[in-house]
Amino acid sequence: MRRAARKRRTRQLEQVFEAVQGDHTHPFAHEIYRRVHKRLPRISLATVYRNLHSLVEEGKIRTLLLDGQGARYDPETSEHDHFVCERCGRVDDLFLWRARRRIDLTSLAKHGYVVMTHNLTIHGMCPACASRRRLSRPSRPAARKP
């Protein structure tokens, strides 16, 4: 078997949990480490990883796998989706439009699939990047007025 359920409440675990909870930018493990390290200067990155795993296993936080540099962590455990900005890399939670996302999973069940969770990610540009782009990156030379 893999590992026993976590039993002990340690300062490291607590701090890792708080760090993730206090950060809705979907941080990477290394960012969690930086935050926790300020309070527990002797903590190691390995411990941060171990505690992140424990918290995910317990269902207290979630893992997010998107493009790029590795796993991100999400304190939001309720059902929601994500928007990934391809320009600046930020990830926003999307709750708002739950009503507009009607996904009928019953057809899968009819084919023998057992659905546990699902996961919708939108890629594009966040409002900030979209407007910045419009201003700063003309895709062709501005038309000269005659």
| 103 belongs to the binding site for its own copies (CB under 8 A) | yes
Site size for DNA (CB under 7 A) = 27
Residue of 116, 135, 142, 143 that binds its own copies (CB under 8 A) = 116
SS3 string, 31-83, reads HHHHHHHHHCCCCCHHHHHHHHHHHHHHCCCEEEECCCCCEEEECCCCCCEEE
Partner interacting with residue 9 (select from its own copies, DNA, none; CB below 5-8 Å by kind): DNA
Q: Does 130 bind its own copies (CB under 8 A)?
A: yes
Positive or negative: CA dihedral 113, 71, 78, 43: positive
Q: Is 102 in the site for its own copies (CB under 8 A)?
A: yes
Binding-site partner at residue 49 among its own copies, DNA, none, CB < 5 to 8 Å by type: DNA
> Which of 38/113 has CB closer to its own copies?
113
Nearer to its own copies, 7 or 106 (CB): 106
Q: To the nearest whole angstrom, how small is the minimum distance from the Cβ of residue 121 to DNA?
A: 17
**Residue 135 interacting with its own copies (CB under 8 A):** no
Taking the least distance from each CB to its own copies, the nearer of 44 and 131 is 131
CA angle 33, 78, 2 (to 5 degrees): 55
73: which residues sit within 8 A by CB, 6+ positions away? 20, 26, 27, 28, 29, 32, 52, 56, 61, 62, 63, 64
